[in-house]
Each structure stands twice: as C-alpha cells, then as structure tokens.
Amino acid sequence: MERLRDDELELIRPLLIELELEEQPHFAGHPQLSRSDLDRLTPPLRSHFTGENVCLAVRDGESLAGFCWCVLFDPGSGLEGEVAEVYVAPEHRGRGVATELLREAVRLFQERGVTLGYVWTRQQNESATRVYAGAGFKPSEQLVMTWYPPG
C-alpha cells in the first residue's frame, strides 16, 4: 500500500474513467457519456479539496419563509453540487417556496458548471421528492452507508 504523490495523481485518470463507464448505466435518465467525453470532462486531478457554501433564502419581512443550503465542492476531480438542506417554515408551505428555492439551486449549479448534483432525502418524504423531481433531480440506484466514530 502506498500514498500517491501529487505529481502521480494523473495515474488515476484511466481508472476513474473506467469507473464512470461502468457505473453510468445504473443511473437511468442520465446521459451515457463516451470514454472521450469523460476524458474531456474530467479536469486535471488535484490533491486538495475546495468548497463553498451558498445559502439561498426567501424572505417574509424580517424573517425567512425558507432556505436552501447548497454546497459546491471539488474533491479534486470536478465540481459537484449538493442541496444539503431545504426547509420551509410550516406557515409558508404549499405556496411554492421550495420550488422557487430548488429552481434557483439548479440555476446556480448550471452557472457554476457543476458536473454532478445531488440531494439526499428519505423515500417516504413525498413532498420533498416531488419538489426535487420537479427541479430535475432523478432517483438513482445507490446505497448510502454511513460511518460514525466508535464510542
């Protein structure tokens, strides 16, 4: 086992593209890119992580009717976007606030050149899944596992 040096990271590129080629058929509704497309879209790999929080909000006078917390980050292999949190105050629900927030989040992702965007929710949260689907997000065949420090 070894840790690659920064100047060796490009050795990962062929394997990263193979991974993408093997995985993309599992994401129905997403474009199926060729090897050359993936090579063109994969930026030079870097050893550092960069990120930014962008909080979108709809105001109701002095308070907020709702917010959408977006995280833009590049783990070293291209810009990703996550809708980390969306919340609409109970008295403002059913008025399109979440739809407006998600529309703006997707516009942000498009403006910034995000190559992969996602949002996490429970399958049983029907109102959230409806809003996310309306904004262009699609379900994926992915198991999410979590790890917490022992103790």
The answer on 100 and 40 residing in a single domain is no
Single residue among 30, 47, 64 that ends a domain in this structure: 47
Residues 68 and 130 in one domain: yes
Tell me if 124 is assigned to some domain: yes
Burial degree of 59 (CB within 10 A; 0-12, 13-18, 19+) = exposed
- Do 25 and 53 have their domain in common? no
Domain limits for position 8: 1-47
Determine the angle formed by the axes of helices 126-134 and 97-112, rounding to 10 degrees. Answer: 40
**Residue 151 located in a structural domain:** no
Q: Are 83 and 120 within one domain?
A: yes
**Does the pLDDT at position 27 exceed 90?**
no
**Structural contact between residues 53 and 69, judged by C-beta atoms closer than 8 angstroms:** yes
Stronger pLDDT, 100 or 122, i.e. the higher one: 100
**Same structural domain for residues 81 and 94?**
yes
CB 95 within 8 A of CB 80: no
pLDDT digits (tens, 9 = 90+) for 84-117: 999 999 999 999 999 999 999 999 999 999 988 9
In a domain, 121, yes or no: yes
d(CA 125, CA 137): 15
Could you give the number of structural domains in the chain? Answer: 2
CATH of the domain at 53: 3.40.630.30
Domain assignment present for residue 150? The answer is no
pLDDT: which is higher, 77 or 104 = 104
**Mean of all residue pLDDT scores within the chain:** 89
Distance of CA 134 to the CA centre of its chain: 16
Asked whether residue 149 is assigned to any structural domain, the reply reads no
Amino acid 147: pLDDT: 82
pLDDT in tens, 28-73: 677 888 999 989 888 888 888 889 999 999 999 988 999 999 999 9
Tokens coding 89 = 């105050």
Q: Does 122 lie in the same domain as 79?
A: yes
Q: Which amino acid is at 136?
A: G
pTM of the model: 0.76
Residues 102 and 55 in one domain: yes
Contact between 58 and 97 under an 8 Å Cβ cutoff? The reply is yes
Q: Are residues 22 and 32 in the same domain?
A: yes
Same domain? 62 vs 41: no
pLDDT value of position 145: 83
The model's confidence at residue 2, banded by pLDDT at 50, 70 and 90, is confident
